[in-house]
């Protein structure tokens, strides 16, 4: 997951390959609750591991439900089977509507049956998301429900610690036109009270997002409760209904998450060797309503073939065909259509999406605002959005910093704008908001997308030993979410491998052509692995040894050999991967990445550097004297500077940074300021 303040996406141009998506949020949270309410144990496979499922799991744990973990996506729930071991609890449910609404209903009923009381709260936005209609329905049943903040909104308290008889004779009326989750919540909760008599639910108003009710009904059936329905207005839970575990249940991949990759296949030219995007884990047999995004994407021109649980998507019509669509059945995936509309041959109208206003944010307002930043003309109605496309020749597109409103779907759908024909980069603010449903969204996206290599930004930090390059580069990579190349480490590994192989690395020996050629071959065949902060040379963990002063000196000697430098060239350039790279060394800006977006030459006085090295060694428990260190540094600097192959010197266009008097944070800030001013977010040279 990218836990950075922002993520800059370079312009993307091709995509291809296979993605396996995380489990459906809607199914995961329903299954967790059903399993907890059931009699018996349920083993759940492919469960989504995200913010919203985590709050549900924490809540179930707090209620005394035993959860047995087998891995991040697999667990066994030991069902409560009508018991309620904990009678009082305060549950924090983040911004998870799929936890707040169903738990509110289920706990209200359990509280009446067992004489319990529970408080349910969430983040500030959750306290702005309506729940009053569900509370009203529960009060009709005779459940005490008290709003603890604003009337009609969480936080709330259900139950008052005393048992209450439920009024089940009359049909329970609930509004269906604000959120379908109110009906889902009642459908999931009421089987707890249907042992003796049938219970009827009547929907008031036009029911929205019906496919989500279909998911609820399908899962209720898996847990032994067959709800009868008449149209979308009346639902009957038969007398004698009782939850029973199906033993094992498998969660489909999330169809809403699939929408981003279906859209990707529809807009991106296939990368070489691929015919498009394959999505595994969800297909045409899905019980999720958002699978109907497939029809919308086809209407826009995408070529989609599907099987029971996989989809293959290729670009068909281009530009995409404009659509005018009632999106009530696919409210979440419809956000993806709003971004696809930028690539259409006319204005696209998405209708019947008033529910967007009460989601993670007011999505109608958010989408209008952010699409406009890209240069699009957008009309926002009370329950519709009309998006006018941007020209296919790239004119009129603007780069933008996309605000994401703590809304995972805003972040994910706007990533698709990186395929703009103007080849402009794009900034996604607060990318970690995708953790709600798809923590590895951007990693998955980069795994199947290609940018032109020259568009993948590189930031180079070169300079002498102990100037702080490694420290600065690692911090910059962490803040930008970029890959990190510590090129010195590769030379250190060659030095170490040479010693292991019995090759003489003394300066005189390396002047012999045979020795140099042997060292070049060794560098070419270097067997290195980087794993969770450890460095492996063949089968040996050399993490500590490779950082020693001796390894640094050996590195400096072998680095003089042109054959070694040539052998490491491709290895280093292969680090240039999406979304970008910070590279540190001696010749990053001058030889390896001469087209880098920013080159920094980092220095500090020799005395400062020797002092820093001394502290570094002392920290590791090694002893040294300042005098020796200074002599070593000067010898190393001299060798690095005077060698004929890629000598250490500021690259052309490099900005000099002497950090003798700067703290690490000041150095980081200085380079970040330079980076913000660099042309990463500007139009590519091609269009200038």
Q: Applying CB under 6 A, which part among 137-145, 342-350, 572-580, 659-667 lies near ligand ADP?
A: 659-667
- Rounded to whole angstroms, the Cα distance separating 427 from 443 reads 16
595 catalytic residue (yes or no): no
CB atoms within 10 A of CB 376: 22
Contacted by 663, from ligand YYY, ligand ADP, none: CB < 5 to 8 Å by type = ligand ADP
Q: Is 488 in the site for ligand YYY (CB under 6 A)?
A: yes
Helix (H) or strand (E) holding 401: strand 401-402
Among 130, 224, 470, 594, binds ligand ADP (CB under 6 A): 470
Q: Is 589 in the site for ligand YYY (CB under 6 A)?
A: no
- Rounded to whole angstroms, the Cα distance separating 19 from 268 reads 15
- Rounded to whole angstroms, the Cα distance separating 575 from 590 reads 16
Q: Is 587 in the site for ligand YYY (CB under 6 A)?
A: yes
Structure tokens at 52: 């919203």
Residue 309 contacts residue 279 (beta carbons within 8 Å): no
Contacted by 175, from ligand ADP, ligand YYY, none: CB < 5 to 8 Å by type = none
Query: Considering beta carbons, is residue 165 or 615 the nearer one to ligand ADP?
Result: 615
Among 471, 487, 515, 556, binds ligand ADP (CB under 6 A): 471
- Rounded to whole angstroms, the Cα distance separating 531 from 550 reads 23
Among 42, 181, 590, 659, binds ligand ADP (CB under 6 A): 659
Residues of span 556-575 touching ligand YYY by CB under 6 A: 556, 559
Tokens 């997002």, located at residue:
209
Annotated ligand binding at 321? The verdict is no
Annotated ligand binding at 181? The verdict is yes
Annotated ligand binding at 289? The verdict is no
CB atoms within 10 A of CB 382: 8
Q: Is 299 in the site for ligand ADP (CB under 6 A)?
A: no
| Residue nearest ligand ADP (C-beta atom) | 468
Q: Applying CB under 6 A, which part among 222-230, 320-328, 554-562, 659-667 lies near ligand YYY?
A: 554-562
- Rounded to whole angstroms, the Cα distance separating 233 from 235 reads 7
- Rounded to whole angstroms, the Cα distance separating 664 from 475 reads 9
How near is the Cβ of 594 to ligand YYY at its closest, in Å? Answer: 13
Residue 59 contacts residue 122 (beta carbons within 8 Å): no
Query: Considering beta carbons, is residue 513 or 615 the nearer one to ligand ADP?
Result: 615
The site that binds ligand YYY (CB under 6 A) totals a number of residues, namely: 17
Strands (E), 315-360: 324-326, 348-351
List strands edge to edge, sheet with 385-387: 324-326, 348-351, 385-387, 378-380
Binding mask 510-549 for ligand YYY (x = CB under 6 A): ----------------------------------------
Distances (CA, A) of 651 to 510, 590, 591, 617, 674: 27, 5, 8, 30, 16
Q: Applying CB under 6 A, which part among 136-144, 168-176, 263-271, 464-472 lies near ligand ADP?
A: 464-472
Catalytically annotated residue among 46, 49, 332, 584: 332
- Which one-letter DSSP state was computed for residue 644? S
Query: Which residues, 6+ apart, have CB-to-CB distance to 247 below 8 Å?
Result: 40, 41, 42, 43
Query: Considering beta carbons, is residue 315 or 612 the nearer one to ligand ADP?
Result: 612
Q: Is 556 in the site for ligand ADP (CB under 6 A)?
A: no
Query: Considering beta carbons, is residue 192 or 496 the nearer one to ligand ADP?
Result: 496
Own/partner pairs for 537-541, CB < 8 Å, 24+ apart?
537/493, 537/496, 537/497, 537/500
Among 25, 30, 368, 636, binds ligand YYY (CB under 6 A): 636
Structure tokens at 258: 């699939």
Contacted by 256, from ligand YYY, ligand ADP, none: CB < 5 to 8 Å by type = none
Residues of span 602-631 touching ligand ADP by CB under 6 A: 612, 615-616
- Rounded to whole angstroms, the Cα distance separating 38 from 569 reads 60
For ligand YYY, the binding residues (CB under 6 A) are 465-466, 470, 487-489, 491-492, 552, 555-556, 559, 585-587, 636, 640
Q: Any idea which residues carry the catalytic annotation?
A: 332
Q: Note the residues at the interface with ligand ADP (CB under 6 A).
A: 465-471, 612, 615-616, 659, 662-664, 667
Q: Extract the annotated binding site for phosphoenolpyruvate.
A: 25, 97, 129, 181, 363, 409, 436
Query: Which residues carry a binding-site annotation for ATP?
Result: 463-471
């Amino acid at each position: 997951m990218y836990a950075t303040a922002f993520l800059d996406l370079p312009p993307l141009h091709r995509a291809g390959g296979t993605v396996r998506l995380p489990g459906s949020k809607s199914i995961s949270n329903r299954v967790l609750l059903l399993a907890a309410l059931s009699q018996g144990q349920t083993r759940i496979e492919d469960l989504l591991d995200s913010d919203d499922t985590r709050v549900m799991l924490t809540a179930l744990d707090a209620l005394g439900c035993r959860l047995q973990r087998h891995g991040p996506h697999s667990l066994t729930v030991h069902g409560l089977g009508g018991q309620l071991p904990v009678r009082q609890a305060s549950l924090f449910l983040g911004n998870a509507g799929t936890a707040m609404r169903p738990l509110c209903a289920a706990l209200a009923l359990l509280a009446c049956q067992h004489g319990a009381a529970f408080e349910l709260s969430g983040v500030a936005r959750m306290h702005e998301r309506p729940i009053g209609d569900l509370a009203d329905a529960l009060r009709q049943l005779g459940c005490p429900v008290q709003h603890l903040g604003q009337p009609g909104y969480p936080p709330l308290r259900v139950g008052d610690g005393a048992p209450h008889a439920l009024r089940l004779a009359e049909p329970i009326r609930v509004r269906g036109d604000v959120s379908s989750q109110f009906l889902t919540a009642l459908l999931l909760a009421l089987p707890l009270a249907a042992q003796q008599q049938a219970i009827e639910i009547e929907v008031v108003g036009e029911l929205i997002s019906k496919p989500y009710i279909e998911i609820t009904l399908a899962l209720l059936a898996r847990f032994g409760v067959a709800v009868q329905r008449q149209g979308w207005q009346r639902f009957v839970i038969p007398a004698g209904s009782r939850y029973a575990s199906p033993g094992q249940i498998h969660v489909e991949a999330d169809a809403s998450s699939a929408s981003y990759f279906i859209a990707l296949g529809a807009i991106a030219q296939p990368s070489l060797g691929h015919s498009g995007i394959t999505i595994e884990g969800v297909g045409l047999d899905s019980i999720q309503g958002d699978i109907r995004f497939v029809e919308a994407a086809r209407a826009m021109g995408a070529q989609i073939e599907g099987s029971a649980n996989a989809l293959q998507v290729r670009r068909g019509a281009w530009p995409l065909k404009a659509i005018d669509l009632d999106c009530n059945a696919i409210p979440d995936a419809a956000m993806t259509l709003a971004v696809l509309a930028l690539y259409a041959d006319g204005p696209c109208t998405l209708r019947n999406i008033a529910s967007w206003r009460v989601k993670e944010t007011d999505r109608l307002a958010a989408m209008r605002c952010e699409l406009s930043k890209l240069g699009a003309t957008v009309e926002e109605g009370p329950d519709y959005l009309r998006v006018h496309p941007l020209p296919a020749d790239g004119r009129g597109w603007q780069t933008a910093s996309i605000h994401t409103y703590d809304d995972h779907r805003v972040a994910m759908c706007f990533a698709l704008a990186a395929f703009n024909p103007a080849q402009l980069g794009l900034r996604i603010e607060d990318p970690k908001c995708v953790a709600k449903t798809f923590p590895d969204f951007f990693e998955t996206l980069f795994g199947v997308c290609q940018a032109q290599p020259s568009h993948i930004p590189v930031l180079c930090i070169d300079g002498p030993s102990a100037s702080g390059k490694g420290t600065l580069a690692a911090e910059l990579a962490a803040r930008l979410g970029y890959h990190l190349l510590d090129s010195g480490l590769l030379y250190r590994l060659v030095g170490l491998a040479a010693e292991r192989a019995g090759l003489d690395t003394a300066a005189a020996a390396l002047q012999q052509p045979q020795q140099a050629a042997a060292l070049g071959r060794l560098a070419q065949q270097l067997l290195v692995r980087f794993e969770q902060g450890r460095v492996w040379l063949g089968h040996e963990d050399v993490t500590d040894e490779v950082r020693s002063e001796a390894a640094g000196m050996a590195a400096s000697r072998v680095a003089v050999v042109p054959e070694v430098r040539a052998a490491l060239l491709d290895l280093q350039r292969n680090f240039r991967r999406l979304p970008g790279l910070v590279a540190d060394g001696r010749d990053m800006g001058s030889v390896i990445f001469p087209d880098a977006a920013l080159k920094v030459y980092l220095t500090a006085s020799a005395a400062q550097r020797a002092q820093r090295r001394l502290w570094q060694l002392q920290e590791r428990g090694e002893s040294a004297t300042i005098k020796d260190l200074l002599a070593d540094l000067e010898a190393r600097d001299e060798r690095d500077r005077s060698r004929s192959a890629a000598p250490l010197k500021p690259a052309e266009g490099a900005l000099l940074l002497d950090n003798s008097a700067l703290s690490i944070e000041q150095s980081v800030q200085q380079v970040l300021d330079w980076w913000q001013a660099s042309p990463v977010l500007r139009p590519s040279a091609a269009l200038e």
